[in-house]
Amino acid sequence: MTATATQHDDALGDEGAVVRTEGLTKRFRNGQVAVDGIDLEVPRGAVYGFLGPNGSGKTTTIRMVLGLVQATAGRAWLLGQSMPDGGAKVLPRVGALVEGPAFQPYLSGRANLERLDAVDASAPRLTSRSRIGEALERVGLAAAARKPYRQYSLGMKQRLGLAAALLRPRELLVLDEPTNGLDPQGTREVRHLVRELAGEGATVLVSSHLLSEIDQVCTHVGVMRQGKLLMQGPRETLGADDAVQVLVTTEPDRLSDASETLAHLGVVSPESDGRDTVSARLGSVPLADLAPALVAAGIPVLGIEVQRPTLEDLFVELTGPGFDVSG
């Protein structure tokens, strides 16, 4: 990342976006391009699901945004500040769990959090004990707080990492694969926690390769594959009408007329199955216009079925094999 940010540049991304990148690229010494010129935008107040198969560049992107890894090219802004130069200003307002937490194995869970809190110069000392207790309670580790970290299971270690990110109120939470190692109950608890944090006003960036984990909590989604950001946007725009499939059932001898009427109306690629159904993509045509147009043309309408693509359909189409859609 170049250190040529102007004062004007530092303010970019502060209006509406808490994370923004422009042409962000990471190329390793062996020539591998891990992140390829992406323009990421995480709106303020969003729960942004950062999706993609393992190895797609999600974690490298997060590490560059947080200033943990030097970018080869491009720019990144975090809470309106150019990174990494503005890190000292904004990182105290960010909680992060990236690539698994690093804790002292012979210290207890609570002692590890006390150690982390003590080195945070911006953390209020008088409330340290109560904040640590609350963080442990929120992630379900209160009963194991005095147990040595080396005796923690993978799921417990992940929970402790979440607790570390929650030691203080944060404007932005960055959670990289937060359910790694958790059982189904733990995964549900993390989803509930993400909803709580968003309800309290935090923006949450959740990176995952598990579709089901994202589908239930996110307001916005970005999809990565092989270092490229394939798409991003509000959750409700996925499966928009131009991807909706409609199936019109009519009498067999009127299939040709039905196809012609639908094509004239503007639906995309109407095709007959040769029996009693014409299928087409809705495109920009309002669904409510189909039946009246067919009836006006004298075509019996025996049924209209709408098939909207699921997130699973869309993501598998975008990312191909290797995406865990089962959760």
* 52-76 pLDDT, tens digit each: 888 899 999 999 999 999 999 999 9
Q: Distance (Å, rounded) from C-alpha 75 to C-alpha 64?
A: 9
308: DSSP letter:
P
> Which residues does residue 307 pair with via DSSP β-bridges, in sequence order?
245
Q: Distance (Å, rounded) from C-alpha 315 to C-alpha 312?
A: 5
Which run of H or of E encompasses 191? helix 184-199
DSSP alpha helix (H) spans, 30-119: 58-65, 87-90, 109-118
pLDDT in tens, 287-327: 889 999 999 999 999 999 888 766 666 676 666 655 544 44
Q: What tokens were used for 270? A: 């109407």
- Which parts of the chain are beta strand (E)? 17-27, 33-38, 41-43, 47-51, 73-78, 81-82, 94-97, 172-176, 203-208, 220-225, 228-234, 245-249, 268-272, 277-281, 303-307
Contact by Cβ (8 Å): 95, 140? no
283: DSSP letter:
T
Q: Which pLDDT does position 238 carry in this prediction?
A: 67
For residue 202, pLDDT beyond 90: yes
Q: Which of 78-87, 145-154, 235-244 has the lowest mean pLDDT?
A: 235-244
Mean of all residue pLDDT scores within the chain: 86
Torsion angle defined by CA atoms of residues 242, 243, 247 and 252, in that order, rounded to the nearest 10 degrees: 70
pLDDT in tens, 219-242: 999 999 899 999 898 887 765 555
Angle between helices 109-118 and 154-165 (to 10 degrees): 30
Sketch out the chain's domains with CATH numbers. 7-237 (3.40.50.300), 241-307 (3.30.70.980)
